Chain A
Amino acid sequence: TQLLEQSPQFLSIQEGENLTVYCNSSSVFSSLQWYRQEPGEGPVLLVTVVTGGEVKKLKRLTFQFGDARKDSSLHITAAQPGDTGLYLCAGDRSTASKLTFGTGTRLQVTL
């Protein structure tokens, strides 16, 4: 059973478009991280959200943690080719000592 489902699985858009990636679960998470990973490289941390309803902005990226801490979203404004990569959400639950990774969203931004 996959605890964190991401949607869409794959997204191909043109430069300048906006997009939203969703990370959903039926479980409550103490915190949730978003990572971006390029092929052959390790995941790079983008943000950690810990409070229900929290919104964090990182330049053109906006992250939101659901009020019930069961879901999160990542919105990218005016996507650029440099945003291309695998986006992973990962959450920790108070009842488990390991991080739960989402299924991943592959984003491709073309010129």
Chain B
Amino acid sequence: DTEVTQTPKHLVMGMTNKKSLKCEQHMGHRAMYWYKQKAKKPPELMFVYSYEKLSINESVPSRFSPECPNSSLLNLHLHALQPEDSALYLCASSQDEGRETQYFGPGTRLLVL
């Protein structure tokens, strides 16, 4: 099983809303990632968690707040987003950080109004 699941599939939110994106994997992977992808562009790394600890923050604005409650779950809390934050948000996991094949979830399509 190489499945990474993400919820919700689609999300529309206003600039004053607070929402959360969820990601789950049951492959026993110890590294989990959040990416942001704009249309027709490759994914851009946002955060990396390794063994449930934040390993990399790619200078992401504080209105994005990641959380890793346990080794199978990864959340991305959203607050006071801007319209330019509208994108496809992808979660991925790998056996270990960085040097392993990453498996991606289906993504959450986010629209900020």
The minimal Cβ–Cβ distance linking A92 to chain B, given in whole angstroms, is 5
Binding site for B on A (CB under 8 A): 30-31, 33, 35, 40-45, 48, 86, 88, 90, 92, 94, 96-99, 101-104, 106
Decide: A42 and B48 in contact? CB cutoff 8 A: no
A102 to B41, CA, bound (A): 9
The answer to whether B107 touches A31 (Cβ under 8 A) is no
Contact A98 B101, beta carbon cutoff 8 Å? no
Interchain CA distance A41-B100 in the complex, whole Å:
21
- Give the contacting residue for A97; candidates B4, B56, B107; CB below 8 A: B56
Q: Give 10 closest A-B pairs by Cβ, nearest first.
A: A97-B98, A101-B42, A42-B104, A42-B107, A42-B106, A43-B104, A48-B101, A104-B42, A42-B105, A92-B99
Interface pair A97/B55, CB less than 8 Å apart? yes
In the bound complex, how far is the Cα of B101 from the Cα of A44, in angstroms?
11
Report A-chain residues with C-beta under 8 Å of the C-beta of B43.
43, 88, 101
CA distance A99 to B101 in the complex (A): 9
Which residues of B sit under 8 angstroms from A44, Cβ to Cβ?
Answer: 104
B32 contacts the other chain (CB 8 A)? no
Give how many A-B residue pairs fall within 8 Å (CB-CB): 59
The reply to whether A104 and B41 contact each other, CB–CB distance below 8 Å, is: yes
Pull 18 A–B residue pairs with CB atoms less than 8 Å apart, ordered by A.
A30-B99, A31-B101, A33-B102, A35-B104, A40-B107, A41-B107, A42-B107, A43-B90, A45-B102, A88-B42, A88-B43, A92-B100, A94-B99, A97-B48, A99-B102, A102-B42, A104-B41, A106-B40
Given A45-B103, A103-B42, the answer on whether A40 and B98 have CB atoms closer than 8 Å is no
Known contacts A42-B106, A42-B107, A43-B104; A98 and B41 CB within 8 A of each other: no
Shortest Cβ gap from B105 to chain A (Å): 5
Question: Given the complex of chains A and B, what is the CA–CA distance between A40 and B89 in angstroms?
Answer: 10
Report if B97 contacts A (CB, 8 A).
Answer: yes
Chain B residue contacts of A86, Cβ below 8 A: 40
A88 to B107, CA, bound (A): 16
Beta-carbon contact of B98 and A99 below 8 Å: yes
Say whether B88 faces chain A, with CB atoms less than 8 Å apart: yes
